[in-house]
Chains A and B, each alone.
Chain A
């Protein structure tokens, strides 16, 4: 089955700096890679996702890159703000298979200090 590794487990940055979180996956059949943000006591919420036919996707300060050959994908947050502080999870799954769950990385706790 799929296995997703995520690094680093914790990341501390100054406000305005960039933050990068990296993930690797094992199953070449995976073709959908979302990133979720979870604030303390809240549910995980999707912030950006990428499909395997795309190498990069950007949404304002957030971008995701995917290298299918190397089986890794990364989240980039620019101009970080204190409200970006949260736990971020990467995940992988196969879009075409009904019932297939998202397999999550172990999460990265991002702290942005002002």
Chain B
């Protein structure tokens, strides 16, 4: 079974549109994340979400908003898409088992804004 899944895998859209990426984990983890990987491969944390506590990277524009309907899901909504939003977005999760250790990544969503 897939531990962390994301949909869609590819997303091509026009500037100015609003889009969502979904993420689900079946590991029973209590913390989920969104990372952005740009064209230079740099993995940068966008959000951490733990038991309804949201930690936001201050550099993330407020056009990006995470939404968590329950502990197993953390979706990413993006409003008014810009060219610079094109990147691969990875969801990840991490659980408390003797301390927060391995972080599991989803397969990624490649977003292309035209």
Contact = CB atoms under 8 A, between A and B. Distances in A.
A36 to B, nearest CB: 8
B31 interface: yes
A101 B45 contact: yes
B36 to A, nearest CB: 11
Interface stretch (A16-24, A69-77, A89-97): A89-97
B40 A99 contact: no
Given A32-B100, A43-B108, A99 B55 contact: yes
7 smallest beta-carbon distances between A and B, as pairs: A95-B99, A99-B50, A101-B45, A43-B105, A104-B43, A99-B48, A98-B50
B107 A43 contact: yes
Contact of A44 (B45, B99, B105): B105
B49 A46 contact: no
Interface string A16-55: 0000000000000000101000100011111001010000
Contact of B53 (A42, A87, A99, A109): A99
A98 B43 contact: no
A98 B96 contact: yes
Interface of B: 30-31, 33, 35, 40-45, 48-51, 53, 55, 90, 96, 99-103, 105-108
A99 B105 contact: no
Contacts of A42: 107
A106 B40 contact: yes
Contacts of A38: 41
A94 B31 CA distance: 14
Contacts of B53: 98-99
B61 to A, nearest CB: 18
Contacts of A96: 99-100
8 contacts: A34-B101, A46-B102, A95-B101, A96-B99, A98-B50, A99-B48, A100-B48, A109-B41
